[in-house]
Structure 1
Amino acid sequence: MAGSGGASSSGLRERKKAETRQALRTQAARLFAERGFADTTVAEIAEAAGVSLRTFFRYFDSKEELLLPDLAELFDRLARELERRPADEPALVALREALLTVTSGPRTTLVALLHPLEGAADVVTDRLVYTFMKSEDRFAQLLAQRLPPGPDVDLRASVLAMTALSAVRSVLRTIRQRRETEEVPVGTFARLLRSAFTVLAEESSKV
């Protein structure tokens, strides 16, 4: 019985953490929309969510981080999308389609890169690029599950993961550069990601 009570308490704590994290994201989004990103402070976000500044920084390093996707949720969704792809589909094609699915829904914040909040766009883009760089191992693990067994399957999965993530980073950098001189329309991320993966396929066929 004691063990059951401990598990229940642990589950309650995790649920409370998730609720607090979501409250901070929700209140931040509301304040950003009402006051603008630059004119909203961390203290105001914390107060609106009913938590202390100290609690805020237990969950997020800065208000910019609130604009980034929830990476745990993102990878969970990516894994589920990869599982749904046909078993005989090439790994890079499966990853491309899974990425397009998880980054085009309303629960992601990549739309913020296309219609950025004033004063936040460059910081968010840079952090998202850095986040993808740190995620190569997780991507490699997901891809390894789709590759046929054989020698150096871990190497093949790592090469594919790093190649795919390089394509994502290239798309984000391209969007950022174009945004300096022109308006970037909705749908640009998906279009450029498909183009980037086409480049990868064309170049790999020449090797």
Structure 2
Amino acid sequence: MTQDPPDPEAEAESGLRERKKERTRTLLREGAAALFAEHGFAGTTVADIAACANVSERTFFRYFESKEALLLPDSIELFAYVEAELARRPPQEAPLDAVCNALISAVAPFAASSLTALTHSIEGAERAVAAQLVHIFTDFDDRLSLLVEARLPAGTPDADLRAAVISGAALSAVRAVLRTQRRRRANGTVTDSPPSHLLLEAFGMLKQIGSAPQ
């Protein structure tokens, strides 16, 4: 049975649809960031965000389940990026180093927009951000542990436990950075250091703790 050749016109149309979807998603995120900054989180409605992107509320909910989802990175998209970065790390690299480097690499693409609520104060959003973070980190930890376990040498004793500890330690350092940023922001002592610099510093501390003499 012969297979029909690809239809260039259909492929072009499919590509156009995907680009339009990505553009709409970007407009919704950018519009939400601007509205949150101007009116606060509580003062911004889904209708406001949809109107800013020139779409309907029904269209908004095709992309995001709630306005809270716009405060933080898309967990699926972020995890896919970390997974890809981890796969690029050299096989001989220590698992903790590989995870830390992959997480640092994942910050840059999201820092400009998706991480707005983590790097800038949004009135009325702290509680919503905290709740979203708990959900994201719980899911992320389980999935990252499996990736770390796959990198461990065959026959590693208690490989599942070791992977869980490595994953948990790295993500705990990320949480510590986020908490520190929020505390500094609240105290008026926040600096212009990008998130990647703070993560690098935190991971360095983590490795020093792990190598400290007993």
SS at match of 1:150: coil
Paired position in structure 1 for 2:200: 194
Paired position in structure 1 for 2:96: 92
Q: How big is the alpha-carbon RMSD for the aligned residues of Structure 1 and Structure 2? A: 3.4
The answer on whether the counterparts of 1:125 and 1:176 sit within 8 Å (CA) in structure 2 is no
The answer on whether the counterparts of 1:114 and 1:186 sit within 8 Å (CA) in structure 2 is no
Pick closer, same or farther for the CA change 1:170–1:57 going to 2, 3 Å: same
1:75 lines up with 2:79 in the alignment: yes
Amino acid at match of 1:170: A
State how far apart, in whole Å, the 1-side matches of 2:76 and 2:96 are: 21
Normalising by structure 2, what TM-score?
A: 0.75
State how far apart, in whole Å, the 2-side matches of 1:38 and 1:130 are: 21
SS at match of 2:187: coil
Paired position in structure 1 for 2:57: 53
Note the alpha carbon deviations across 1:29-86, whole angstroms, 9 max, x for none.
4544665544332112223445443453454343232121122221111112112222
Unpaired runs of 5+ in structure 1? none
State how far apart, in whole Å, the 2-side matches of 1:162 and 1:176 are: 21
Amino acid at match of 1:184: V
Stretch moving more, 176-185 or 122-131: 122-131
Return the offset for 1:27.
3.5
State how far apart, in whole Å, the 2-side matches of 1:175 and 1:33 are: 18
1:178 lines up with 2:184 in the alignment: yes
State how far apart, in whole Å, the 2-side matches of 1:125 and 1:188 are: 20
Stretch moving more, 87-96 or 197-206: 197-206
Normalising by structure 1, what TM-score?
A: 0.77
Return the offset for 1:187.
2.1
Query: How many residue pairs get matched?
Result: 206
Paired position in structure 1 for 2:169: 163
1:135 lines up with 2:140 in the alignment: yes
Amino acid at match of 2:208: E
State how far apart, in whole Å, the 1-side matches of 2:197 and 2:50 are: 37
Stretch moving more, 27-36 or 107-116: 27-36
Pick closer, same or farther for the CA change 1:125–1:41 going to 2, 3 Å: same
The answer on whether the counterparts of 1:113 and 1:121 sit within 8 Å (CA) in structure 2 is no
Return the offset for 1:92.
1.2
The answer on whether the counterparts of 1:79 and 1:142 sit within 8 Å (CA) in structure 2 is yes
Unpaired runs of 5+ in structure 2? none
The answer on whether the counterparts of 2:82 and 2:102 sit within 8 Å (CA) in structure 1 is yes
State how far apart, in whole Å, the 2-side matches of 1:128 and 1:53 are: 25
One of 41, 47, 61 as aligned partner of 2:45 = 41
Return the offset for 1:154.
2.2
Note the alpha carbon deviations across 1:94-150, whole angstroms, 9 max, x for none.
211211111123565235422223332453244224411221111112212322111
Amino acid at match of 2:171: L
